Amino acid sequence: MPHNKALVHPFVCHDQGASCLVFAPQHQVLISAGKKGDACLIDVRSKLIRHKFNAHESAVKCIAIDPHEDYFATGSADGDIKIWGVTVPNVLLTLQTEHARGGFFKNIGQGVTQLQIDSHGRLFSCGVDGSMKVRQLPDRETLLNHHKKHTTETA
């Protein structure tokens, strides 16, 4: 297929390319993440980058969005999982070293490999540490209002 017919629109967000992405149809937003730990929220209607931010210290390996599209989760090569708001990408919850691997070969193939959020607010995660974990996330209102409360207290 010719290049001009195969590519609908190029988005330049990540220096070394995107490692994962997910689409939020209600918001018409494409969420992508890169190998340097950066993430982008792209408005597909206007074809503009809405937000670009540093999500993790290491490469982001996977993304999942909740069924209501209120928040999304990112999993990194260092084993951390972070929950972010969709409309404003602020950290709502951090699960540090959820899938970290220790030992001599700790830099070889480590981190979170897969994430899924179900309609009951459960976060399923897999990692190269060989584990599959299930966490019950705080309910939507608590999760989304936690950031609002924290921002007003510090302001």
HEC readout, 29-42: EEEEEECCCEEEEE
Domain-located, residue 5: no
Domain-located, residue 15: yes
Domain-located, residue 80: yes
What total of structural domains would you count in the chain?
Answer: 1
Domain-located, residue 1: no
Give the global pTM.
0.83
Domain-located, residue 106: yes
Of 99, 87, 105, the closest CA to residue 28 belongs to 87
Find the domain containing 93 and state its range.
11-154
Domain-located, residue 6: no
One digit per residue, pLDDT tens: the chain, 155 residues?
566 666 667 777 888 888 999 999 999 999 999 999 999 999 999 989 999 999 999 999 999 999 999 999 999 999 999 999 998 889 999 998 888 765 555 555 679 999 999 999 999 999 988 889 999 999 878 887 765 554 444 44
Domain-located, residue 119: yes
